[in-house]
Structure 1
Amino acid sequence: MTGPLLLGVRHHGPGSARAVRAALDAASPPAVLIEGPPEGDALVALAADEQMRPPVALLAHAVDDPGRAAFWPLAEFSPEWVAIRWALEREVPVRFIDLPAAHSLALAAAEESADAARPEGPAPDGEEPLLGRVSAGVGVEAADPEWDVVPGQGSLEGRVSAGVGVEAADPEWDVVPGQGSFEGRVSAGVGVEAADPEWDVVPGQGSLEGRVSAGVGVEAADPEWDVVPGQESLEARGVRIDPIAVLAETAGYDDPERWWEDVIEHRGPGGQADDPRAPFAALGEAMAALREMYGHGGHERDLAREAHMRIQLRAANKEFGDGVAVVCGAWHVPALAAKTTLAADKALLKGLPKVKTEMTWVPWTHRRLARHSGYGAGIDSPGWYGHLFGVPDRPVERWMTKVAGLLRDEDRMVSSAHVIEAVRLADTLAAMRGRPLAGLTETTDAIRAVMCDGSDVPLDLIRDRLIVGDVLGEVPDAAPAVPLQRDLSRLQRSLRLKPEALERELDLDLRKETDAAKSRLLHRLRLLAIGWGEPVTGRGSTGTFRESWRLRWEPELFVRVAEAGVWGTTVLTAATAKAENTAVSATALAEVTALAEQCLLAELPDALPVVMRALADRAALDADVGHLAQALPALARSLRYGDVRSTDTAALGEVAAGLAERICVGLPPACTGLDADGAAEMRGHLDGVHTAIGLLPKAPELGERWGSVLHRLAARDTVPGVIRGRAARLLLDDGRLAEDEAARLMALALAPGTPPAEAAAWIEGFVGGASGGGMLLVHDERLLTLVDAWLTGVPADAFTDVLPLLRRTFSAYESGVRRTLGELVRRGPAAASGPVHAGPTMPGFGPGLDGERADAVLPVLQLLLGIDDNDLAGVTR
C-alpha cells in the first residue's frame, strides 16, 4: 500500500461505521488517526473501559472560563468510535489529529466578538455579496465573457481550479489551467497593471484580497464586481454549503437524508464492493469535485483545521510508515490528499489564538445528537440509526416490532397482524419509490397508516421515544472530572438519584431523611444554576412536607458543574459560597428574600447569617411599599419551610414581622392615584401579603391590624375599583365582613353614578380570578342580582369598553360554574330575598328534597359498600 488510507465518513452514520470497520479489517493499518482534538489522546484508552457506554462526548472547556466549552460527541454507530474501539482491541496506536481544542475555543470566542462588533443590516448597496448572489441563482455578466459567472458553475476561482482558462484584455490578467490561480501567481511575484488603477497589484504588497482587507476598495468596470472595505473578503462573504445536500440534489433527490440512506446506510453485505475501500474512494472523488467548485464552502476555519491534520499525518507517516488510516469527515478528504508543503501548512496556523483547556469524557444523549439540538453535525434520527447499526438482520421487521411494543405499553391495540401488514406496506412503498430498502420515510408512512389509524398523535410519541430516543451514555469513574463533579456523582450514588435523559417526576416526603437529603441536593444545585430538577406543583397534598420535582439530565449540565466549581469543591461549600456572594452583591430586597428562601430550602446554615444581615440592611433602606409587599411572601414561605426542616428561623420571623408592620402603614397611601396597570400590580401584591400574613406566626394584633387596612381600602373612594373589590372579597372570605355589608359595598360600587369602567374593575377584584368568585355568585342571589342589574343598565356606548374586562373576569370560571350562572340569569330572580342557600327558593333548583328520588340510590350504595339493610339504616341515620 502506498499513501495513507483516507476514510471519508459522515459523522454518526451506521453505514459509514460498518464500512470503516470492514476497511480497517482489510487493510490492518499500523496506526489510526481520528478527526478530533489532540488533547483527547490522553483519554482515548478509557474508550475500552467496561463502564464506558456510548453515546459519550469529549468535553473541552477553558480553565479560566468553564462556560466556554465544546463537545465532540460519539455514538455507538459513529465511524470514529468504531475506529477507536478497533484500534484499542488490536493494540494499534490511535490519535486525534484535528485542530487542538485550545485553538478551537479561542477562535470561537474571537468569532463571537467579531459577530457582536459587526453592524447588522445588508451591504451598502443593499444587495447580497457576489458569491452569495451566485449561490442564490443570480449570475454575473462581465465586460469580458470569460469573466461571466453562471449559477451552478461556482465562483470564478473554483472554475479556474477546474481547468477553465481566462484570457483577459490585458495579458497580465491571463489565467492558464495548470499554472495555478491568479491569486497564486500574484503571490509568486507577478504584477498586474489593470485598465483601472484600482485593480493594480504590485509584488510585495500582498494579494488583491489582502489589500481589500487592509482597506483598499475595488471599483470594477462592472458594478457587480465592486468590493467595499469593511464587507469582508469575497470568500469570507460566501455562503456555507452542505456537501451532502449538494450531492443529493445532483443525484435528483430532494431529501439529503434519503439520498445518504440509499447510497451508504442501506448497503447491506450483498451490496458491498469486493474492495471495502472502494466506497471511500468514490465519495472522496465526489468531495474533490465539490471542493474544486466551492473552495472551503464558507467553512473558513476548515483551512486551519486541515493544515493541522496534514501536519499530523506527515508526522504519523514518518513514525509508522505508509498505510496509516485516517477517519475524518468526507469533506476533508480532498484537502488531506492535496500536495502542500509543511511550511505552507505552518503558515496557516501561525498566530492562532490559544487558551488553556481541560478535557474529559462526559455522557451524551441521543436527543443531543439530533440536528434540532443545535449540534452542527447532528442527524435527524439517532434512534433509527442506532437500530440499523445494532440489529444483525431484518431491520425493518425488528423496527416494527419495537414500535408495536411501545404502542402496547401506551395501551394501544396493536397486534402481530399490524406488524406484518406494516412491514409489507413499507417494503411496497420502497419498491414503488425505487429505493433499495425501506428507509425511515417508508417505515414511518407504514406505521402511520397501519398502527396509528392515520393519526400523527401516536406518531409523535414514536418520533420522541424511538426515532430520536432518550439513551444516556455512561463514562467510567476513572475519567477526569472537577472536584465538584466528583462530589455530585458521589451524592447521586448515595441517594440513588441516577441522572436520566428521560424526563421523570419525583415525589418527596420530607419527613423521610433520604427524601429530605434529595430535596437539599436539588435545591443546592438550583442555587448553583445547575438545572437538573425543576419544582412542580405536588399531587395529592398541599402540606409543606411534600415536594414534587421534574428531573431531566442534559449533557450541558456538565459545563454548568464546571462553571460552579469556582465556588467550592463540594456541593455544600459551593452553594454556601454562591449564596453569600449573591447576598452581598444583591441590590433588590425581593432578590435577598428569595435567596433567604433558597438557603432554607437548601439547608445552608453557614450562609444564613450573611443573608440575614443583607436582608435586614435592604429592608431598612427600602421605602417602596411595592418592594416590601413583593418580599414578604417569600419570607412567610421560608418560615413554613423552616418549621418542617427544623431550622431556627427566629431572626427571619423578626424581619418578616417588621416588613408586615411597615406594609400595614404604607399600603393605603400607596394604593391612591394608581393607573390601570399600577392597580393590577398592586392587587397582586395585596393577595400575596394577605396570604403571607396568614402564614406568619400567630400574632393577633398583626391580624387585626391587617383587617383594619383591608376595611380602609374597601371603603376609600380614591382607591382603584379593582383593589377595593379585592379588599372586600378578602374580608368576606375571612369572615370579617358580613354578607349584608358585602352586598352594600357592591351596591355602592355599581351605583348608576359610578363610571362603567370603574364598576367593572370592582367586579373583577371582587369575583375575578380562580378564588371561588363564581361559586360566590351562584350561592348568593343578592350579589348575582346586583351584578345582573348593573350589567343590563350599562349604556350601549360604554358596554364595548367594559366587555373585555368582564370577559376576562368570567372566563376564569370553570365551565360548570359559567353554565350554572347562565341558567340562573335565564330563569330570573327568585321570589324571595335573602341568601339563596338559606331556603328552597334558589332559582334553577327544586323547591325541596325529593325523598323518593333520594331513596332510589340506597340499593346501589348498599351494593358498593357491601353492607346489609340494618347497617345501611345506621349510615342514613
Structure 2
Amino acid sequence: MASADRPPGGARGEGPLLLGVRHHGPGSARAVRAALEAARPQAVLIEGPPEADALIPLVADEEMRPPVALLAHAVDEPGRSAFWPLAEFSPEWVALRWAVEHGAAATFIDLPAAHTLAWEKEGEGEQPPTTGGGAGPVRVDPLAVLADAAGYDDPERWWEDVVEHRGAGKGDALAPFAVLEEAMAALREEYGSGGQERDLVREAHMRLRVRAAQREFGREVAVVCGAWHVPALRRKSTVAADRALLKGLPKVKTDMTWVPWTHRRLSRASGYGAGIDSPGWYGHLFEAPDRPVERWLTKVAGLLRAEDRIVSSAHVIEAVRLAETLAALRGRPLPGLSETTEAVRAVMCEGSDVPLALVHDRLVVGDVLGEVPASAPAVPLQRDLARLQKRLRCRPEAVERELELDLRKETDAARSKLLHRLRLLGVDWGRPAVSRGTTGTFRETWRLCWEPESAVRVAEAGVWGTTVLAAASAKAEADAVGARALADVTRLAEQCLLAELPDALPMVMRVLADRAALDADVGHLAQALPALVRSLRYGDVRGTDTGALAGVAAGLAERVFVGLPPACAALDAEAAEEMRGHLDAVHGAVALLAEATAAAHGDLRGRWRAVLRTLSSRDTVPGVVRGRAVRLLLDEGELAQDEAARLMGLVLSPGTAPADAAAWIEGFVGGGSGGGMLLVHDERLLGLVDAWLTGVPAEAFTDVLPLLRRTFSAYESGVRRTLGELVRRGPRDGAAATGAGLPGFAPDLDARRADAAVPLLRLLLGLDEPAGSDADDPANDLVGVAP
C-alpha cells in the first residue's frame, strides 16, 4: 500500500526509486531504460538471487546473447535446481545492461537461492492460500484483476493496450511506474499477499537489502522488481521485524551460473512465475518500437514465402489495413497480436490454420537459443561437453533437427559415441530415430533438440566424472551393479558397445555372466538374448572386440533351448501370448548369432530348429505357441507346405476345441508376420481356415471371435480386401476341405510372366555389372536365376 510519507513513484532525493515491472514485458523494459536514463542512480537493485552478483559482469561479454537464465543448483544434489530466465526484452536484463554500461553498482536482492532450494527440498512448496475480503481462497493474478476492472476479458490484451503500445520516452519517464504502483497498492490492500505467503519472506529480505544499499549509496538507488512487490517495499517496517521473518529458514549449499535459454521455454511458466504465450511477438515489440505492425507482417510474409507460399507486398499492405481496421473496431490504440493473427489468416493464409500454425511456431513463439560465454562458471563435465560439441561441429540448437550419421566416417562415429554416452548419463540431447535410408548397422539417425533442462542433467552427471567418457564409464559400472533384471544388464552391455566404453564393458560383462548363470527364468533369458546379439553386430562396424560377448550370448542361447519346452507347458492365455513374443525374439537372435559363433559353438541354428519341432508337436504347449513354431519352421524351409497344411488340418479338425484352434491360427498367421500374404498365396491354407470357421458351433463362435478379429485386423487393408474377395468367390469343385480350386491361382508357374520380373529384380539387387563386363553377355542373363 502506498505510504503517506511519499507519493507513489517518488521523486529523486526522497528515497529509493521503485520501478515496478512485469517480468518479460517489452513495454516495462523500455520504460525501465527511460527511467534509469532520467534518474541516473549510482546503484541498481534487481529482483533475483544474490548468489548471482559475481556473474553480473558477464552481462557485458560479447559472447553473451539472451535469452539466458541464471541456474542455481544444490551442490550435493545437482538435480534440485531453479532457473531465473532473462530475455532481451526483460526489464531485469535491461537494468543489468544499463548498470554495467554506465558504471553503476548492480546487485540482486531477492531471497537467496540457498533458501529457495532448501524450501523445495523439505517439501514445503507454496503455502496454503489466504483469504481476501472474505471471498474464500485466493491466488491473485494482478493483471487479470486490473484487466477485469478495466472491462477487458483478456489480461494480455489489456497489458498491450496500456503498456506495450505506449511509446517509450514520451512524457514523464516515471509516470507509468507511479500509476502501476498505485494500482498494485490497492490490490495489496484488498488481497494482502494474494495467497503467496512466501512473498512476505522474500519482501522482508528485499527491504533489508534496500536499506543496506541506501546506507552505502544514499538515496541514489533504483530498485527493479515485480510491480506486485512495490507496495511491500514502500511499506514502513522495522529491521527487527524483517529479520524475524527470515530467522530459521532452511539452507543448502548452492552453485550458480549462466545457461542458454530459449524463447520456447519462455512461453512456459518460468522461474518468475510469469510464463508468456508469445515471446517472439514480445521480442519484436521491443526491437521495433516504431511501425511494429508493418514490420511484423513483413516478417510473416518472409517466412511464408520461404515455405513456397505465394505472398506478395500487396498481401502485406492488405493485412496491415485489415489489422488496423480490426483494432479501430475494437477500440484499441494499435493492432495487437490477435488482430495481426486474424489478418494473416484471412489475407496471407486464405483462411487456413495450417500455415498459421507455422507462423505461431516460428515467429510468435520462436526457436531462439541464447549463448553464454566460455568464461561463465561451469562444472568440468559441462566444459568437456562444450569442447566436444565444438570439435565435432555439433552445436546445440533449440529447434528439433534430424541428424544422419555414417559410422564409417570418423567424425560421424565420434558424434554417435558422444550422443550414446550422453543418453547413458541421462542427458537426452539426442534421441535415436528410425533411419529412412537403410537398416544397416553403419547408419544411425538422431533427432536433436537442446532443452535448457539439459544443463541441469549435465550438472547432475558431473558427480560421475569430469569428462563425458569417464562419467559415462563410471555410470555404466554403477548401473550394472545396481541392475535388478538380467534384461537391464544386457541393455546396458548394448549401450556400452554403442557408446564405446572399453573400461566399463568388462565390469558389465562380469555382472552379465553372473546374472545369466543364476537366472533360471526362461522368459528373462529370452528377453536378454536379442540385445546381446544386436551388440555383436555393432562390434563389426565400430571395430569393437566382442569375443567375450559372443560367448555369453551363445551360452544364454543354449540355456534357452533347454528350458523353453518345459517353460511353455500349462500357460494361460496372457502368458502364452508373452511366450510367443519371446519365441519371435529368440528366433531372430539365433539367426544372427549362428553366423557369429559357428566356429566356436557349432550349429546353433540346427539345435533351435529341433526346439521348434518339439514345441510344434506337444499337445501341452498352448495353441498360439505351437502355431508360431510351425510358422517359423515353414519360413525357414524346414517344413514343407504339405506338412504345414496337414498340421493345420489336424488342429482345425472337429476334435480340437474352437478356442485352441483359434489360438493356433493366431500363432501361425497372426500379427505383422506376413501371415495374410501366406493365406493369399496358399489356397490350401485359406480353404482350411475358411472351412473350419464356417463349421464353428454357434455357441463357441462368440468365444473365438475376439481372437480372430485381432488376428485378421493386423493385416494391411489390401491383404484383407484380397482375402475377402477370395472367400466371397468360394472354392470350386467342392474342394473346401483341401482348399484347392480357389479362383485367381494358376495350378502351375507362369514362366513367361515370372521372367518379365527378372531384369527389375536384378537391378534392385545390384546384380547387373557395368557395360563391357562378362556379365553383360546376353547368353548369361538368366543363367542360375531360377531352378
The 5 Å alignment of 1:721-740 reads 721-740=623-642
Q: CA deviation at 1:89?
A: 1.0
Can you list the C-alpha shifts for 1:438-458, whole angstroms capped at 9, x where unaligned?
111111222222233333233
Aligned mates of 2:419, 2:216 — CA distance in 1: 51
Letter in 1 for 2:692: W
Offset of residue 681 of structure 1: 1.0
Distance 2:170 2:34 in 1: 11
Per the alignment, residue 204 of structure 1 pairs with: none
| Alignment-derived partner of residue 707 in structure 1 | 609
Closer, same or farther: CA 790–244 of 1 in aligned 2, 3 Å:
same
- Separation in 1 of the partners of 2:329 and 2:706? 57
- Does structure 2 retain, via aligned residues, the 8 Å contact 1:827–1:843? no
Corresponding residue of 2:122: 110
Choose which of 71, 77, 81 in structure 1 pairs with 2:83. 71
Q: How does 1:432-831 map to 2 (within 5 A)?
A: 432-696=329-593, 697-699=596-598, 700-829=602-731
SS in 2 for 1:371: coil
Task: Determine if contact 1:51/1:475 at 8 Å carries over to the other structure.
Answer: yes
Q: Write the mapping of 1:128-147 to structure 2, written as runs, cut at 5 A.
A: none
**Aligned counterpart in structure 1 of residue 108 of structure 2, from 78, 96, 102:** 96
Contact preservation (8 Å) 2:84, 2:270: no
Q: Which residue, 150, 155, 158 being the options, matches 1:256? A: 155
The alpha carbon displacement at 1:114 in A equals: 9.6
The equivalent residue for 1:298 is 195
Deviations along 1:745-786, whole A, 9 cap, x unmatched? 222222223232222222221112222112111111111112
Is 1:372–1:380's contact at 8 Å kept on the other side of the alignment?
no
Structure 1 unaligned spans of 5+: 116-128, 133-153, 159-236, 859-866
CA distance in 1, matches of 2:335, 2:629: 68
Residue 287 of structure 2 corresponds to residue 422 of structure 1: no
Question: What is aligned with 1:232?
Answer: none
1:450-473 Cα distance to aligned partner (Å, 9 max, x none): 233333233222222211111110
Matched, 1:42 2:54: yes
Select 1:267's aligned residue among 166, 178, 181.
166
- Cα distance change on mapping 1:613 and 1:244 into 2, 3 Å: same
Letter in 2 for 1:758: D
Q: Is the 8 A contact 1:131 1:155 kept in 2?
A: no
Cα 1:735/1:375, change in 2 over 3 Å: farther
1:407 is matched with which residue: 298, 301, 304?
Answer: 304
TM-score normalised by structure 1 residue count: 0.81
With over 3 angstroms needed to count, the CA separation of the structure-2 counterparts of 1:47 and 1:131, relative to structure 1, is closer
> How do 1:839-858 residues align onto structure 2 when only pairs under 5 Å count?
842-843=744-745
CA contact (8 A) 1:823 1:844 kept: no
Contact 1:483–1:569 (Cα < 8 Å) also in 2 = yes
Contact 1:827 1:844 in 2 (8 A): no
Distance 2:747 2:159 in 1: 70
How do residues 387-406 of structure 1 correspond to structure 2 at under 5 angstroms? 387-406=284-303
- In 1, the alpha carbon distance for the partners of 2:491 and 2:163 equals 56
Structure 1 residues 807 and 408, CA gap change in structure 2 (3 angstroms):
farther
Q: For 2:349 and 2:565, locate their aligned partners in 1 and report how far apart those are by CA, in whole Å.
A: 61
CA contact (8 A) 2:84 2:272 kept: no
Residues 1:155 and 2:133 are matched in the alignment:
yes
DSSP 3-state at the match of 2:645 = helix
Q: How far is 1:8 from its partner?
A: 0.5
- Which amino acid letter does the alignment assign opposite residue 147 of structure 2? A
2:173 counterpart residue number: 276
Displacement of 1:389? 1.1
Q: TM-score, normalised by structure 2?
A: 0.90
Given residue 795 of structure 1, which amino acid in structure 2 is its aligned partner? P
When residues 846 and 636 of structure 1 are mapped into structure 2, their CA distance, relative to the original with a 3 A threshold, is closer
Q: Distance in 1 between matches of 2:301 and 2:452?
A: 30
Q: Judging changes above 3 Å, is the alpha-carbon distance between structure 1 residues 421 and 29 closer, same or farther for their aligned structure 2 residues? A: same
1:378 match: secondary structure = coil
Deviation at 1:373, TM superposition (A): 7.3
Tell me, in whole angstroms, the C-alpha distance in 2 between the residues paired with 1:84 and 1:375: 17
Segment drifting more, 582-591 vs 822-831: 822-831
Residue 56 of structure 1 and its aligned partner are, at CA, apart by 0.2
Q: Select 2:252's aligned residue among 355, 378, 384.
A: 355
Which letter does structure 2 place at the counterpart of 1:824? L
The alpha carbon displacement at 1:682 in A equals 0.9
Measure, in 1, the Cα distance between the counterparts of 2:114 and 2:735.
83
Contact 1:713 1:727 in 2 (8 A): yes
Q: Which residue of 2 aligns with 1:316?
A: 213
Which SS does the other structure have where 1:111 is aligned? coil
Amino acid at match of 1:475: V
Quote the Cα distance in structure 2 between the aligned partners of 1:343 and 1:693.
77
Quickly say closer, same or farther: Cα 1:245–1:98, change in 2 above 3 A.
Answer: same
Offset of residue 837 of structure 1: 14
Does the CA-based 8 Å contact 1:367-1:373 persist in structure 2?
no
Q: Could you tell me which residue of structure 1 aligns to residue 30 of structure 2?
A: 18
CA deviation after TM superposition for structure 1 residue 541, in Å:
0.8
Distance 1:618 1:282, change over 3 A: same
Aligned mates of 1:731, 1:412 — CA distance in 2: 55
Q: Give the match's secondary structure for 1:328.
A: strand
- 1:9 matched to 2:31? The reply is no
1:612 partner letter: M
1:165-176 aligned at under 5 Å gives the runs none
CA contact (8 A) 1:781 1:829 kept: no
SS of match in other structure, 1:327: strand
Check conservation: 2:687, 2:740, Cα contact below 8 A.
no
Report the more deviating stretch, 299-308 or 584-593: 584-593
1:109–1:765 distance in 2 versus 1, CA, 3 Å? same
Unaligned runs of 5+ in 2: 1-11, 761-770, 783-787
Tell whether 2:70 aligns with 1:58: yes
Segment of structure 1 superposing worse, 585-594 or 373-382:
373-382
Contact 1:21–1:86 under 8 Å retained in 2:
yes
Per-residue CA deviations over 1:108-132 (Å, capped at 9, x if unaligned) read 22235899xxxxxxxxxxxxx9966
Distance verdict in 2 for CA 1:811–1:85, change over 3 Å: same
- In the other structure, the counterpart of 2:785 is none
Match of 1:82 in 2: 94
Tell whether the 8 Å contact from 2:326 to 2:335 is kept in structure 1 after alignment.
yes
Deviates more, 1:332-341 or 1:375-384: 375-384
Once the 2 structures are TM-superposed, how far is the Cα of residue 802 of structure 1 from its aligned partner? Answer: 2.6
Per-residue Cα deviation, 1:503-525 (whole angstroms, up to 9, x for no partner): 11111111111111111111111
Q: 1:51 to 1:844 in 2, by over 3 A?
A: farther
Identity of aligned residues (%): 75
CA contact (8 A) 2:554 2:597 kept: no
CA distance in structure 1 between the partners assigned to 2:293 and 2:501 by the alignment = 55
Letter in 1 for 2:652: L
Number of the residue aligned with 2:186 = 289
Of residues 261, 265, 273 in structure 2, which corresponds to 1:364? 261
Aligned residue-pair number:
748
Deviations 1:352-400 (A, max 9, x none): 1111111000000111111367972211111111111112532222222
- What is the root-mean-square deviation in Å for CA atoms of aligned residues? 2.9
**CA distance in 2 between partners of 1:408 and 1:682 (Å):** 55
1:792 shift after superposition: 2.3
1:49: how far off? 0.4
* Residues 691 and 405 of structure 1, relative CA distance in 2, 3 Å threshold: same
Change (3 A) 1:756 1:112: farther
